[in-house]
């Protein structure tokens, strides 16, 4: 195929079908420059046309970096003598194909152009259409078939003529009087030589170029011509092309934060990260350093815990790399600083990575210790080897930590050159590669981040990026090396996005940082112009940002808030930044990545590594780029080049210089892409695919059918051996997906697979991406919706996934869904059906059919319910029985483990199935029925029981009766329910705690409770007024009580039984889980109930959201720890009365 001239100077996306609306931009070349060009042409033995054509091609080469250029032109077509006196148009199009290079001089290139021109002239009689028919180029409706740029020079004189008394003169006002407003090509340069000067215009397609860009092109071409005549032996790559303003552009934006801050001085980077951190500990010991939705640590407490971890590590090893295996929480921060304080290097691991990838990183990094906690202990044991020991930071006792030394535990003077971390990124060979960075370089980046963002001790920064990515480096150290507060937010677990929004608002976050994808999901949850008065900076990075992102910012945030876009690969974390305020105008569809930060120079290079000034590969010259890739000297040598006292890192990102001196990201030069902030080597996915026995060849692309909607698509050719092609041809690709999931993280799994007979190739052997078909993301077993509910869900799915059709058995993730789209989906489901589903629901129930069943579950007939429901019957541990709504027990499953049998006890299982009256009169009778059901599964103890809210009394009575019958109750867990207070006492306490919460949380808490109570009282009115009226009407018509009335009567009887129940002293241990809104520490009546002692777990949140994310995760994990502890300690349980323990205080101190 012929090369397509892709001009990076286009301002707008190319339309799918070529348009022809155009405009003109005048150009005037001075008489002196025209004379110099004619003189140069004479000296080189060429025509002025050839010189100007070579100059124009040089301009295009400098814009594009392409070394194979095709330009069209025209010839008079009057070579034959017999045509000289024939009236008519004989003009014919010619094609000029040349190969410019940055190393050759302009005079050398001019000789090449002369040869091509003479060859074209000798064939100018060949009709252009015959040439097209002979070549048969690949057709594309968006391009001219042979060339996209045209050049004309008319240098013949038109004398004034007098014919029959009429005077005829050349028209000088073509631009204003004759031009029709059309453009046949993307770009045409037409010049006229008259009166000793060159004049003309650029005719351009207005669907591609703006007037401002064309004015800039005129300036560049004029400067280039000056440079050529001044030094024609200069290489094409070094000919001057920029204006003086562009050559001396400002290195940073005029828009900057105005808040006061303490400057991070250049000398401050000549130390270690722990030394800088300990300075903050001394200055701000009582400031909150890290806060999640469940826990907070001051600087002093964080320092103490990190010291304890450092001491433990130094006993295990004195040098080497330490792998970290943590969730997105405070333990991760403690472990990270503990490693650095010990003078060791941390290697972060994400627990959700495939185990094969984790094992490779551990082996490649030569990690000597794996540091983890209780949450990831089981996984750590799977990763443990003979040369890798595992340390659990949760095994340390709180009292030892409190007695830990406050001073540094560094092993001698820790030098700034010490290796700080190894971050693993995607690699083209099929395995990730580790980027190394030392303390000095990290502090340099944080210095730039601090000074440019004016970070101070009053700031509150989000941490949304996983700690295994470089974006987290900016947030973690940007906060904790400046006395600010860091707020880790797990976007996968902590939210349907709504809690993230609430958390940002409640905690008064001042600096928000995420990828544009996460930012868009955050914005999508906002209702109207919700105020965020404390949010002063929104920082985006990791992938391309669009003008629509700027518009969202300008729409939703206050006047003083600033939006910052940037570019910083893992190898150079903070490199470019672009500041935007409400007045910023950006006519382009994408947002610039900005200006280089201090002590960083940005170069644009061509393939040969020569500077191009306008367009090319972005290279970063700095003394602070990464040290290289761990154990990969060849790749390091290719990517990091010496540059005097600095080093030059070639990013692989393409960029162009804008008129304001800022840099615009123009995509990748290689097979590396950015997807939702993750850097992905497509070659790594392709290499893994080719390891599958059913696949012979593969190629993977990043498809973007709409701005911001990207997905990976894999094209595979089946292997030729028997059976393998049949596996793929049937469309059964689940085995391929499972194979990839064992080796690659979720974000690297293609959303669609296309089976091909062969991968289309270019003549040079590279993949011809233009011929790869766009996948139709459909399912072979497409099942249409059957109910109105399924129809509604199908419409929501199609809207979220941006696909034309969907079946009720289609898997959300197979259709291109991911965790961030899951947030959007569940948010829309909540808006549509007024029912909130936890995020984990979509991973467990990924089809429309399953979700419809879950949404309709609350509308099931009471008669279909059973008292004892086997929620998870398998497992070797003793069963866990929960009294109350079984969906609450189901919500705990993800954190209890697959080896824990779980059963639910639902009071409505005792609802009579016929019209007989119910027999529910007291809690004691209900407990007897429940025990009968329980013992059909587990005849003997030890028993593990639980209840929520009003059902705690039934659970408590079940435990009492089991004790009385001689059975052992190992755990009685009560979730957010009162036992030891009378109804009047409970009401008094409720008023007291509500008043304290209003004082602390303000009117928003009061309004929330008023709304909840309003809904409750509406239900009460319905039950006590409308239900009896409806029942009376039913009696008149059907002679039987209505189902609604019988159901309401049953509920009322249960409520009255609970109200009458008076709990007796319990001879066992009581475990209480309370939402923090209840301020349970102030309730002393609980301590009188259990002779075996009381444990209290406090979960940050409200009573109504205890079983939804993120509270349910903490509840589930705490419950699992409680069950495991009691199972292991069962033989040594003491009957002595134990004091009340506030476990959340211990966890906060660790």
Cβ neighbour number for residue 334 with a 10 Å cutoff: 26
Looking at per-residue pLDDT, the higher value among 1147 and 621 belongs to: 621
Of residues 1095, 1123, 1107, 1078, the one with CA closest to residue 977: 1078
Cα dihedral value 1103, 1108, 1110, 1112, nearest 10: 80
pLDDT at 17: 72
Number of residues written out for the chain:
1150
In terms of DSSP H, where are the helices of 861-970?
A: 886-896, 923-934, 952-964
Overall CATH class of domain 671-771 = alpha beta
Instruction: Please give the distance of CA 1074 from its chain centroid, rounded to a whole number.
Output: 34
Written as six digits, the tokens of 492 are 């996968």
Cα dihedral value 706, 711, 717, 723, nearest 10: -130
Element (H, E) at 1034: helix 1027-1038
CB 493 within 8 A of CB 329: no
pTM above threshold 0.85: no
Looking at per-residue pLDDT, the higher value among 405 and 784 belongs to: 784
Lowest-confidence pick of 536-540, 632-636, 688-692: 688-692
Looking at per-residue pLDDT, the higher value among 687 and 543 belongs to: 543
Angle between helices 31-44 and 106-121 in degrees, nearest 10 = 80
Confidence of residue 800 (pLDDT cuts 50, 70, 90): confident
Looking at per-residue pLDDT, the higher value among 142 and 304 belongs to: 304
pLDDT at 779: 43
Cβ neighbour number for residue 332 with a 10 Å cutoff: 25
Q: Where does residue 88 fall: left (phi above 0), alpha (psi -120 to 50 degrees), or beta otherwise?
A: left
pLDDT tens digits, residue range 881-904? Answer: 998 766 678 778 878 887 888 888
Q: If you average pLDDT over residues 712-729, what whole number do you get? A: 67
pLDDT at 43: 96
pLDDT at 1041: 44
Confidence of residue 95 (pLDDT cuts 50, 70, 90): confident
pLDDT tens digits, residue range 336-382? Answer: 999 999 999 999 999 988 888 999 999 999 999 999 999 999 999 99
Percentage of residues in the chain having pLDDT higher than 90: 35
pLDDT at 402: 38
Q: Which CATH superfamily is domain 28-80+87-247 in?
A: Nonribosomal peptide synthetase, condensation domain (3.30.559.30)
Query: How far is residue 464's CA from residue 475's CA, in Å, rounded to a whole number?
Result: 9
Asked if residue 113 has pLDDT above 90, the reply is yes
Q: If you average pLDDT over residues 455-469, what whole number do you get? A: 95
Element (H, E) at 358: helix 355-365
Of residues 731, 710, 596, 569, the one with CA closest to residue 651: 569
Percentage of residues in the chain having pLDDT higher than 70: 75
pLDDT at 51: 97
Query: How far is residue 358's CA from residue 336's CA, in Å, rounded to a whole number?
Result: 18
CB 258 within 8 A of CB 132: no
Instruction: Please give the distance of CA 753 from its chain centroid, rounded to a whole number.
Output: 22
Looking at per-residue pLDDT, the higher value among 1114 and 781 belongs to: 1114
pLDDT at 318: 80
> Looking at the domain that runs over 788-859, which CATH code has it been given?
1.10.1200.10
Query: How far is residue 77's CA from residue 1135's CA, in Å, rounded to a whole number?
Result: 110
Lowest-confidence pick of 130-144, 474-488, 577-591: 130-144
pLDDT at 316: 86
Query: How far is residue 524's CA from residue 545's CA, in Å, rounded to a whole number?
Result: 16
Query: How far is residue 1094's CA from residue 364's CA, in Å, rounded to a whole number?
Result: 48
Q: If you average pLDDT over residues 617-636, what whole number do you get? A: 94
Backbone φ and ψ of 1040, nearest 5° = -135, 155
Query: How far is residue 235's CA from residue 228's CA, in Å, rounded to a whole number?
Result: 10
Looking at per-residue pLDDT, the higher value among 515 and 1109 belongs to: 515
pLDDT at 319: 84
Lowest-confidence pick of 263-267, 566-570, 784-788: 784-788
Query: How far is residue 681's CA from residue 703's CA, in Å, rounded to a whole number?
Result: 14
CB 875 within 8 A of CB 899: yes
Q: If you average pLDDT over residues 188-216, what whole number do you get? A: 91
Looking at per-residue pLDDT, the higher value among 1051 and 285 belongs to: 285
Backbone φ and ψ of 232, nearest 5° = -65, -15
Q: If you average pLDDT over residues 1051-1058, what whole number do you get? A: 77
DSSP 1023: I
Asked if residue 554 has pLDDT above 60, the reply is yes
pLDDT at 227: 97
Written as six digits, the tokens of 158 are 């038109």
Mean pLDDT estimate for the chain: 80
List the domain boundaries for the chain: 28-80+87-247, 264-439, 671-771, 788-859, 864-985+1066-1149, 989-1060
Question: SS3 letters for 466-482?
Answer: CCCCHHHHHHHHHHHCC
Evaluate whether 28-80+87-247 and 864-985+1066-1149 have a shared fold. Answer: no
Rg (CA), the chain: 36
Q: How far is CA 123 from each of CA 74, 118, 144, 1103, rounded to the nearest angstrom?
A: 12, 9, 21, 86
Q: Where are the beta strands (DSSP E) in 897-1023?
A: 902-905, 943-948, 969-975
Fold of domain 264-439: Rossmann fold (3.40.50)
Of residues 587, 665, 700, 664, the one with CA closest to residue 212: 587
Out of 3.40.50.620, 3.30.9.10, 3.40.50.1820, 3.40.50.720, select the CATH number for domain 864-985+1066-1149: 3.40.50.1820
Lowest-confidence pick of 22-31, 178-187, 878-887, 1045-1054: 1045-1054
Contacts of 1145 (CB under 8 A, 6+ apart): none
In terms of Cβ atoms closer than 10 Å to its own Cβ (0-12, 13-18, 19+), residue 964 is: exposed
């Amino acid at each position: 195929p012929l090369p397509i001239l892709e001009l990076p100077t286009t301002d707008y996306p190319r339309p799918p079908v070529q348009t022809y609306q155009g405009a003109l931009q005048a150009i005037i070349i001075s008489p002196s420059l025209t004379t110099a060009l004619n003189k140069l042409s004479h000296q080189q033995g060429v025509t002025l046309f050839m010189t100007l054509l070579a100059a124009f091609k040089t301009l295009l080469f400098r814009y594009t970096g392409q070394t194979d250029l095709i330009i069209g032109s025209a010839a008079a077509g009057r070579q034959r003598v017999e045509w000289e006196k024939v009236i008519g148009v004989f003009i014919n199009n010619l094609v000029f194909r040349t190969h410019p290079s940055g190393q050759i001089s302009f005079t050398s290139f001019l000789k090449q152009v002369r040869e091509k021109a003479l060859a074209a002239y000798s064939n100018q009689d060949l009709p252009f259409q015959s040439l097209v028919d002979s070549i048969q180029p690949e057709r594309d409706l968006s391009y001219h078939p042979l060339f996209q740029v045209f050049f004309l020079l008319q240098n013949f004189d038109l004398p004034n003529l007098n014919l029959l008394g009429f005077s005829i003169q050349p028209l000088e006002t073509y631009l204003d009087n004759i031009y029709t407003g059309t453009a046949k090509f993307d770009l045409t340069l037409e010049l006229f030589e008259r009166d000793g000067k060159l004049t003309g215009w650029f005719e351009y397609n207005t669907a591609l170029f703006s007037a401002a860009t064309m004015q800039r092109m005129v300036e560049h071409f004029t400067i280039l011509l000056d440079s050529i005549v001044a030094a024609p032996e200069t290489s094409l790559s070094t000919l001057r092309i920029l204006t003086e303003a562009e050559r001396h552009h400002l290195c940073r934006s005029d828009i900057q934060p105005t808040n006061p801050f303490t400057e991070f001085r250049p000398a401050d980077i000549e130390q270690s990260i722990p030394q800088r951190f300990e300075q903050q500990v001394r200055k701000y010991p009582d400031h909150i350093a890290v806060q999640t939705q469940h826990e907070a640590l001051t600087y002093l407490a964080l320092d103490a815990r990190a010291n304890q971890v450092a001491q433990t590590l130094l006993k295990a090893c004195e040098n080497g790399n330490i792998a970290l295996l943590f969730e997105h929480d405070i333990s991760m921060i403690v472990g990270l600083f503990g490693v650095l304080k010990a003078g060791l290097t941390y290697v972060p691991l994400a627990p959700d990575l495939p185990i094969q990838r984790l094992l490779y990183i551990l082996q490649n990094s030569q990690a000597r210790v794996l540091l983890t906690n209780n949450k990831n202990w089981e996984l750590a044991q799977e990763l443990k080897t003979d040369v890798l020991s595992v340390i659990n930071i949760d095994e340390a006792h709180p009292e030892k930590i409190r007695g830990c030394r406050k001073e540094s535990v560094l092993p001698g003077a820790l030098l700034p050159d010490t290796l700080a971390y190894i971050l693993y990124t995607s690699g083209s060979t099929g395995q990730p590669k580790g980027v190394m960075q030392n303390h000095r370089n990290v502090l340099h980046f944080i210095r730039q981040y601090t000074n440019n963002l004016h970070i101070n001790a009053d700031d509150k920064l989000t941490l949304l990026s996983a700690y295994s990515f470089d974006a987290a480096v900016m947030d973690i150290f940007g906060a904790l090396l400046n006395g600010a507060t860091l707020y880790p937010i797990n976007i996968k677990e902590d939210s349907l996005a709504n809690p993230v929004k609430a958390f940002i608002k409640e905690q008064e976050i001042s600096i928000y940082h995420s990828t544009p994808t996460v930012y868009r999901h955050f914005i999508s949850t906002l209702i109207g112009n919700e105020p965020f008065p404390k949010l002063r900076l929104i920082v985006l990075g990791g992938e391309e940002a669009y003008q629509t992102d700027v518009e969202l910012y300008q729409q939703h945030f206050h006047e003083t808030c600033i939006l910052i876009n940037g570019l910083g690969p893992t190898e150079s974390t903070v490199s470019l930044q672009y500041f935007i305020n409400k007045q910023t105008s950006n006519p382009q569809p994408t947002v610039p990545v900005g200006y280089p930060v201090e002590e960083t120079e940005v170069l644009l290079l061509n393939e040969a590594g020569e500077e191009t000034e306008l367009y090319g590969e972005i290279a970063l010259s700095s003394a602070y780029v990464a040290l290289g890739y761990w154990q990969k000297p060849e790749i390091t040598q290719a990517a990091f080049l010496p540059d005097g006292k600095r080093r030059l890192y070639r990013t692989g990102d393409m960029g162009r210089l804008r008129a304001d001196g800022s840099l615009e990201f123009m995509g990748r030069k290689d097979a590396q892409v950015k997807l939702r902030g993750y850097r992905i080597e497509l070659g790594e996915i392709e290499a893994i695919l080719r390891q599958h026995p059913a696949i012979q060849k593969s190629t993977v692309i990043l498809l973007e059918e709409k701005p911001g909607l990207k997905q990976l698509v894999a094209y595979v050719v089946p292997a030729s051996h028997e059976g393998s092609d049949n596996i793929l041809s049937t469309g059964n690709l689940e085995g391929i997906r499972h194979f990839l999931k064992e080796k690659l993280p979720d974000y690297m799994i293609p959303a669609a697979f296309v089976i091909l007979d062969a991968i289309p190739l270019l003549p040079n052997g590279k993949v011809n991406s233009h011929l790869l078909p766009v996948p139709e993301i459909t399912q072979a077993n497409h099942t249409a919706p059957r109910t109105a509910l399924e129809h509604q869900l199908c419409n929501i799915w199609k809207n979220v996934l941006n696909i034309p059709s969907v079946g009720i058995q289609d898997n959300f993730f197979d259709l291109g869904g991911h965790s961030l789209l899951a947030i959007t989906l569940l948010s829309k489901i909540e808006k549509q059906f007024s029912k909130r589903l936890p995020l984990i629901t979509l991973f467990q129930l990924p089809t429309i059919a399953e979700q419809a069943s879950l949404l309709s579950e609350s509308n099931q007939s009471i008669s279909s319910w059973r008292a004892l429901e086997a929620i998870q019957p398998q497992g070797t541990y003793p069963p866990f029985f929960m009294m109350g709504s079984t969906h609450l027990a189901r919500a705990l499953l993800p954190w209890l483990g697959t080896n824990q049998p779980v059963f639910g006890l639902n009071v409505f299982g005792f609802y009579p199935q016929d019209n007989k009256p119910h027999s529910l009169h007291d809690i004691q009778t209900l407990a007897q029925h429940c025990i009968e059901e329980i013992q059909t599964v587990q005849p003997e103890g030890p028993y593990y029981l639980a209840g929520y809210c009003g059902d705690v009394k039934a659970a408590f009575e079940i435990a009492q009766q089991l004790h009385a019958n001689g059975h052992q109750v190992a755990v009685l867990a009560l979730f957010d329910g009162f036992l030891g207070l009378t109804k009047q006492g409970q009401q008094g306490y409720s008023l007291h705690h509500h008043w304290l919460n209003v004082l602390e949380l303000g009117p928003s808490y009061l309004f929330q409770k008023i709304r909840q109570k309003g809904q409750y009282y509406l239900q009460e009115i319905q039950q006590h007024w409308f239900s009896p009226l409806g029942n009376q009407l039913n009696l008149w018509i059907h002679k039987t009580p209505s189902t609604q009335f019988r159901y309401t009567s049953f509920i009322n009887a249960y409520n009255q039984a609970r109200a009458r129940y008076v709990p007796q002293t319990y001879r066992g241990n009581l475990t209480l889980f309370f939402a923090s809104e209840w301020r349970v520490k102030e309730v002393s009546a609980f301590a009188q109930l259990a002779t075996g002692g009381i444990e209290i777990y406090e979960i940050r949140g409200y009573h109504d959201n205890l079983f939804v994310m993120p509270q349910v995760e903490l509840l589930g994990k705490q419950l699992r720890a409680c069950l495991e502890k009691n199972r292991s300690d069962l033989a040594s349980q003491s009957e002595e009365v134990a004091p009340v323990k506030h476990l959340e205080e211990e966890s906060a101190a660790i």
